[in-house]
A and B are shown apart, each in its own frame.
Chain A
Amino acid sequence: GQNIDQPTEMTATEGAIVQINCTYQTSGFNGLFWYQQHAGEAPTFLSYNVLDGLEEKGRFSSFLSRSKGYSYLLLKELQMKDSASYLCAVTNDYKLSFGAGTTVTVRA
């Protein structure tokens, strides 16, 4: 079975840093994705981790520890437009399994 857990909601202030954690227990693992989804819109690709370690891409970074079944997405210098849902997803054999998503609200 697939079990992917992430917090339901987080709130942070504009300009701050927020870390969204994701833990997973899955029957197989090829890699871990993070997607951003604004309300009523399609998810957009943020990052993909296959190997352990930190991947940095501008204000967003993603970390993976395969031995711990753990990942996090780090959002730095938060902007109002970062208010969205962030989806953690594990890929295995052509299929993606998603967590329920973390809604991040950025306050001025």
Chain B
Amino acid sequence: DGGITQSPKYLFRKEGQNVTLSCEQNLNHDAMYWYRQDPGQGLRLIYYSQIVNDFQKGDIAEGYSVSREKKESFPLTVTSAQKNPTAFYLCASSIDGDTQYFGPGTRLLVL
């Protein structure tokens, strides 16, 4: 089946620890995106990539890093510099830069 997968579903981070969230798609989409969702707020764009080996900062990139070494994969690292990482993280992909399709999300919690 074609789709977008994210893992893990829940992730716990200790103080000062970097954690990496996985996002994989087999839809052959060029563009991929990472969003953060907090209660009562809209999705906010962290990073996006329009093509392999290229990515751009979104509106709230501080404390996060990404890589795009393969078309299918766009992992997000939440670094220790991100002081308020608790949120629901959503990955999306798009074939045309318009309609985005979302993965199931990863909920990150701080211990």
The chain A residues found within 8 Å of chain B, CB to CB, are 4, 8, 30-31, 33, 40-45, 48, 87, 89, 91, 93-101
Contacts and interface: CB of A to CB of B under 8 A. Distances in A.
A95 B58 contact: yes
SS of A interface (majority): strand
Contacts of B98: 30-31, 48, 91
B99 A33 contact: yes
Interface of B: 31, 33, 40-45, 48, 50, 58, 88, 90, 94, 97-105
B104 A42 contact: yes
A100 B31 contact: no
A21 to B, nearest CB: 15
Contacts of A30: 98
Contact of A42 (B31, B48, B102): B102
B102 A94 contact: no
Contacts of B44: 98
